[in-house]
Structure 1
Amino acid sequence: MGDSFTEGIGDPEPTSPGGYRGWADRVAEELSSGCQDFGYANLAIRGRLLGQILGEQLQPALALKPDLISISAGGNDLIRPGSDPDALAQQLDVAVEEMTATGATVLLLNGPDIRDTPVLSMVRGRIAIYNENLRTIASRHNAIVADMWSLRQLSDSQMWAGDRLHFSPLGHHTIALMVLAALNVQHSLEPLEPTPLPQQKWQVARAEDFVWAKEFLFPWVLRRLRHQSSGDGISAKRPTPGPVLKNNHRTLSGQPTFPSLPD
């Protein structure tokens, strides 16, 4: 359950449903290894707010009678002016109680530390408060927290896609490793390190900042003003449980590099 993060935006893969792979698909591939009756559904849709995720995805998820439910939600709310991380956590608390009451294991993913990320860094405090609330929720309902805030590798610019809002294939791979560790399951994924990039002149970095603002930031702001969402007209890529095969996906070496984050 979730938004663009769980849908896999930033990790394009033409052979995957919806055209994206992402951390959740990667985790499912590992969990399915050696399990003949494994089924994986992904109900996440880009742009969804917490209330929409709970309203649209919770009951369909529970109807599947899953053994494991992951939910990453609230990020799109927190970047909006005036959002209240405590109020969001209260909504999530009620939903997690309903999930755990079914006997399913519930996995909560908190927010990453976006201290060095342009624009998003201004809501770092809200994310920190929300993360602490998630820990309280997890403790209350015996859920598991996959701690992205402590995943310091995500501070590297190559962990982020060119829009600087979503994770790159390398970022999704790194998060999948962390999630599998949080679930305490054996897997075959190996840690990958970003390729060192040459140091950029500040003029080049500023020029890239301008291009980024024109191509990604301004359209994002315009959608907010028009009350539009990137997920309008989009449906879940895996609405029903199905098998997941560990295909020979492209390697991460040779992936295009992305604009460096400004100082």
Structure 2
Amino acid sequence: MEAHDFVDKVLVLEELEKRGVMDDLVILSQILPLHDRKKVMAAECLSNSTKGQGTRDFVVSDMHRVTFTGDYESLMGSPVVENLSDLAKDLPEGAHTFLQKLMPKPGVYRYHPYKGVKCWEVSGFCSLLIQSAPFPGGTKKIRWKGAIKPSAVSETTRYVEPTLPIEGLETSSDKLPPRLPILVLAYCITPEGETKELILGLPTLAKHRDQSPWVWTIDLLKYAETLSASSTTISAMGAPMADYSQVPVVPDAHVKLKKTAK
């Protein structure tokens, strides 16, 4: 794909499905809510910052599980069925059901944290970053903060829209993700600690409140529900599993990148 093609959500979705990345993100979206009961039980005695950090730790840990990186990198060469107990360690009951569907993909993922930012490189395609969103505004009100993410988002904006001028961007390559553009896994939890949102999106700059921080997004929770419903229907009919890369499960929203104010 050409850099500018990332503006087209359908093309990106098809490429992620082809590489098996969406399958892994579906499993992530299924096991992440399993932590909610633990978070809710502890919510009364935890501060918002502590709850937020705890959720981030869950997201990072579960992302490592589904990509076989970090603590789970050594399990890549063995059958998943032989490693379910290790993959599901510290997870609530029911995790095995989802984790057993994993299909290890040697060479597809590389865990490449930089400057404190968690980053997974999808070989030859993009980088995946994690970002929390505020409650109640959610992912629509997310803002790119910190020393690294604003620059990374700026560079991604310029990368997918080469003709769009980005003011004040002078960033050395060692401060950016190993592969551009970046896609962001953004999540939002309720004050009680329950998973409210989990999305994948192409970020862009938003300097004003009325500007969207996204070019497009995919609701991973709804995406997983759609696949599950489709699988159940097809299985009941006795038909072979469909090629979901051809199913536009998430309607494309034609959103134009914002223009930098003069």
Q: Structure 1-normalised TM-score? A: 0.28
Higher relative contact order (CA 8 A, sep 6+): 1
Q: Structure 2-normalised TM-score? A: 0.28
Query: When you count strand as a share of all residues, which structure comes out higher?
Result: 2
